[in-house]
Chain A
Amino acid sequence: MPFLDFFTQWRTNSRIKSLESQLQGRPTPQLYLQLADAHKEAGNSTKAAQVLKLGAARVPVCPEIIRRQAEAEKIERENEKKRLIEKIQSHPNPILYARLAELFKADGELEKTIDTCQKGIKAFPKYGGTYLVLGQIYVEKKSWQEAVTQLEKSVELDKYNYLALKLLAQVYMELGRPADAAQRLEDILYFAPGDEAILELLKKAKEKAGQPFVEKKSSASASSGNNAAVSSASKTRIGSLAAEQKGTPSSARDKQINAGVTQLRTVPGVTGAILVDQYGLVVAADLSNEIDEGLAGALITNVYRTASANAVKLNVGTFEEGLIEGENGNIHIVQLDEMILAVFAKADVKMGLLEKSIRDFSMLVLQH
């Protein structure tokens, strides 16, 4: 029996390798479906779902892939919901509430979404992400005033939240407040310069508000611009947003994550590290005093968002990590579950040592 198991596993693995190799050459819908089946047969449903997701992105006209991907995603969401509910009971934190609410929302379970958001807000009232999910629900219901209340709260708690600012601008437009919408869109351009979707919305908002629209293409122009609200706010160091927003700085999880981030900075050549959630909110950070944590979080999230959304188009598959090299140092970006870790380092950092430290930190985060 063990020999038969071994043989079956060997045969499945060989088939996976062969299909992967064929897909590298000329991808077809059939190959994606066969590869997903092979991963499923090997007992790896997560990998099967990833393959279908990739196939759906590459061959969006194939209805069978789209159908199978939707099914696989539904199963993945159910598994994640169970995992999050357990985690909330054992190690509650606001990101888990927001993520769980998003999953309920994706399955159209509005009552559960609202209930989860309300519980999250009650437990962690200073976390902007949960207000954002609640705001999204009100937008779907076209309850514009309620949406404004939740989204303004979200933006008040996190002035660099791309999604909240964008949605708030759209709601202002619905309410006939184009000047307010334009202001929020300009806030976004401060940390997402050149974002074409935002520039397009800003052009429309300015036209409606009767204001002149001057496109600022380069990043250089945006910093000196009209973004009084954000730029003045950014001069104030946000400080420990993690402590301020999450409400439970003394929880064992927060302590361990903060210690892990601090530990990363002890690697020779590392100048700072920051852990942000999917909305760009800072979970933990240890940066030099000149860098505003909130702004760094927003900038990193913007780069991550742009790169990960386009990774399939770039033929690399789903985004795993990125390394930005600048004139004065490097930034390593790693996706960790529903969070993003960015480590700032000098150009001469020992890469092997840094990668090991990042792996150790990843294990720490994923364990919780």
Chain B
Amino acid sequence: MKDILSKLNKTNGIRGSMIVNRDGIVVHSDFSVEVAETGVGAVASSILSALEGALKRIQMGRFSRFIITGAENKVAMVDAGQAILLVLLDREVNMGLVNLEIKDAAAAVREKSKM
């Protein structure tokens, strides 16, 4: 898991990443900036709960990804099977360029968490 995050974090525009289980417990994290990891894990879990409820009721199917753009940075929460991959990005990052890296990392986390 650690290697997946290190590889992902080498991508331009990515400031760090984290793997959280669905209860909000941090499995692994690697950030280049100061982040309150436990709090972020809990928040990711509560956002996921709201998202899954919403998507189900309006027939949008299974949750895949949520990207929040804020005044300072972006964050992407990605479904990775039994876990969530959370990626912190520069606000002005070109999503087209990082999408593939994030997708690959999420697939790798999904595979690992099956083991």
User: Which A residues fall within an 8 A CB radius of B?
Assistant: 24-27, 50, 54, 191-196, 218-220, 222-223, 290-291, 295-296, 299-300, 302-303, 306-307, 310-311, 313-329, 331, 344
Contact = CB atoms under 8 A, between A and B. Distances in A.
The 5 closest A-B pairs by CB, nearest first: A327-B61, A316-B70, A317-B72, A194-B49, A219-B53
Given A194-B46, A290-B59, A329-B60, A311 B53 contact: no
Contacts of B70: 311, 314, 316-320
B25 interface: no
B64 interface: yes
B36 interface: yes
A324 B46 contact: no
Contacts of B65: 323-325
A342 to B, nearest CB: 10
B46 A310 contact: yes
A300 B54 contact: yes
Given A299-B53, A313-B40, A321 B75 contact: no
Contacts, number: 144
Contact of A194 (B43, B50, B55, B58): B50
B52 interface: yes
A367 to B, nearest CB: 22
Given A196-B46, A325-B64, 8 more contacts: A24-B33, A193-B53, A219-B57, A299-B53, A299-B54, A316-B72, A316-B91, A327-B64
B49 A193 contact: yes
Contacts of B52: 193, 218-219
B56 to A, nearest CB: 5
Dominant SS among interface residues on chain A: mixed
A194 B53 contact: yes
Interface residues of B, number: 39
Given A319-B68, A320-B69, A303 B51 contact: yes
B84 to A, nearest CB: 12
Nearest to B73: A316
Contacts of B51: 303, 324
A307 B59 contact: no
Nearest to B39: A313
A191 B49 CA distance: 11
B58 A296 contact: yes
14 contacts: A219-B53, A295-B57, A299-B58, A300-B54, A302-B53, A303-B50, A306-B50, A315-B35, A315-B72, A321-B68, A323-B66, A326-B62, A328-B61, A344-B60
A80 to B, nearest CB: 19
B47 interface: yes
B57 A191 contact: yes
A117 to B, nearest CB: 30
A323 B61 CA distance: 15
Contacts of A313: 36, 39-40, 43
A295 B59 CA distance: 12
B50 A302 contact: yes
Contacts of A314: 40, 43-44, 68, 70, 75, 88
B61 to A, nearest CB: 3
A208 to B, nearest CB: 26
B34 interface: yes
